């Protein structure tokens, strides 16, 4: 997200706009926690994970739309960019009736509607890959059942990408729960070949711990569960995530400059602009220097 913040500031300044940051996300927007930003300052943030400005969730955000409008008008802010997942996208769509608003997908869950990728997903993927590779190193010398739990909420996009990237033996995602008998069959096939099995599971998989325990009992072997936890949300941003953030941010500013509200999304290997009430993508010529 920090790279996207820098790109937004950079593009805004090129157009003579004064970028303003909002601390603590949607709650900060309601509270009016604004601060002037300078691209030279923000560039120092771009190599760090997370978001320097902070974030928050507000379940009943729509009831604050008029409050937010008044706060923005008081600060002479006439365009807004919101980064986040599907909840943030809904907030951005609601705000678009009050002020020009752009939305950028930024979530490691990679589940934003209409976008092939979201900022942070590739970095989180690579973090998990490094851990999975380390588990395989141990498994080669100490054969048993190994399970790696990724983040991802109630979606399995991140776990699936990790499993595919490391050649996992079993994938457990909440969208398609497996019968324990099927998990046992897949695991036994792996252990017969390699003496061990690597299972990758999303945190949202139902009864995950109990399922792994049942599996180990049925296989008459020991199991080891590794949880990445919130470390997967941080770390040095990958090159792809930095380029993605810059492209999406540049597209967002281009859309706002045309007086529109909409979403800057990643489709077919490029940034496209979709208005909130349309699925007809518009492509801008983006100059990333």
pLDDT in tens, 84-96: 999 999 999 999 9
Contacts of 275-283 with C-beta under 8 Å, sequence gap 24+, read: 276/92, 276/93, 276/96, 279/114, 282/255
Instruction: Tell me what pLDDT residue 144 has.
Output: 87
> Would you state the pLDDT for residue 283?
78
Residue 281's pLDDT is 81
Return the pLDDT at 142.
85
Provide the pLDDT for residue 228.
92
The answer to whether residue 160 is domain-embedded is yes
pLDDT tens, per residue, the chain with 289 residues:
999 999 999 999 999 999 999 999 999 999 999 999 999 999 999 999 989 999 999 989 999 999 999 999 999 999 999 999 999 999 999 999 999 999 999 999 999 999 999 999 999 999 999 999 999 999 988 888 999 999 998 999 999 999 999 999 999 999 999 999 999 999 999 999 999 999 999 999 999 999 999 999 999 988 999 999 888 888 999 999 999 999 999 999 999 999 999 999 999 999 999 999 877 788 776 766 6
Residue 145 shares a structural domain with residue 100: no
Residue 110, domain member (yes or no): yes
pTM to 2 decimals? 0.92
Together in a domain, 41 and 172: no
In 3D, which of 256, 239, 246, 251 has the Cα closest to residue 7? 246
* Pair (37, 110) in one structural domain: yes
Q: What is the pLDDT of residue 280?
A: 78
Catalytic, 109? Answer yes
CB 257 within 8 A of CB 249: no
- Quick one: 106 and 9 in the same domain? yes
Q: Of 233, 255, 284, which residue is a domain's last?
A: 233
In a domain, 287, yes or no: no
- Are 95 and 145 in a shared domain? no
Q: Do residues 253 and 270 share a domain?
A: yes
The verdict on 80 and 135 lying in the same domain is no
Residues 139, 184, single domain; the answer is: yes
Distances (CA, A) of 245 to 52, 63, 121, 206: 15, 30, 11, 33
Strand partners, 190: none
Q: Considering its fold, how many domains does the chain have in total?
A: 2
Indicate which residue of 109, 122, 169, 241 is catalytic. Answer: 109
- Are 18 and 66 found together in one domain? yes
- Is the domain of 52 the same as that of 81? yes
Instruction: List the domain range (segments joined by +) for residue 190.
Output: 123-233
CATH number of the domain residue 194 falls in: 3.40.50.460
| Residue 147 is assigned to a structural domain of this protein | yes
pLDDT of residue 289: 64
Q: For residue 245, what is the domain's CATH number?
A: 3.40.50.450
Residue 15: inside a domain: yes
So what's the pLDDT on residue 20? 97
Are 169 and 99 within one domain?
no
In a domain, 100, yes or no: yes
Question: Is residue 289 domain-resident?
Answer: no
Question: What's the token pair of residue 119?
Answer: 């900022």
Same domain, residue pair 137 and 62: no
Domain contains 283 = no
pLDDT value at position 124?
96
């Amino acid at each position: 997200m920090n790279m996207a913040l820098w790109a937004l500031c950079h593009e805004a300044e090129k157009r003579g706009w004064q970028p303003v940051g909002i601390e603590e996300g949607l709650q900060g927007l309601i509270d009016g926690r604004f601060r002037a930003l300078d691209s030279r300052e923000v560039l120092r943030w771009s190599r760090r994970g997370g978001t320097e400005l902070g974030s928050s969730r507000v379940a009943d955000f729509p009831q604050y739309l008029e409050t937010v409008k008044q706060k923005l008008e008081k600060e002479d802010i006439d365009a807004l960019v919101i980064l986040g997942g599907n909840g943030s996208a809904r907030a951005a769509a609601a705000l678009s009736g009050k002020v020009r608003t752009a939305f950028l997908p930024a979530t490691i869950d990679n589940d934003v509607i209409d976008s092939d990728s979201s900022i942070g997903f590739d970095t989180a993927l690579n973090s998990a890959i490094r851990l999975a590779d380390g588990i395989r190193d141990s498994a080669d010398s100490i054969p048993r059942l190994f399970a790696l739990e990724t983040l991802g909420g109630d979606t399995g996009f991140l776990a699936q990408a990790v499993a595919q990237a490391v050649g996992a033996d079993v994938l457990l995602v909440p969208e398609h729960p497996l019968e324990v008998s099927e998990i046992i069959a897949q695991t036994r096939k792996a252990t017969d070949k390699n003496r061990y099995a690597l299972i990758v599971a999303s945190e949202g998989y139902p009864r995950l711990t109990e399922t792994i325990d049942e599996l180990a009992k049925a296989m008459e072997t020991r199991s080891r569960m590794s949880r990445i936890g919130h470390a997967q949300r941080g770390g040095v941003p990958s090159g792809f995530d930095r380029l993605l953030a810059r492209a999406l941010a540049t597209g967002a500013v281009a859309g706002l400059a045309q007086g529109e509200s909409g979403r800057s999304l990643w489709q077919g290997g490029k940034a496209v602009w979709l208005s909130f009430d349309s699925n007809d993508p518009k492509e801008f010529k983006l100059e990333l220097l």
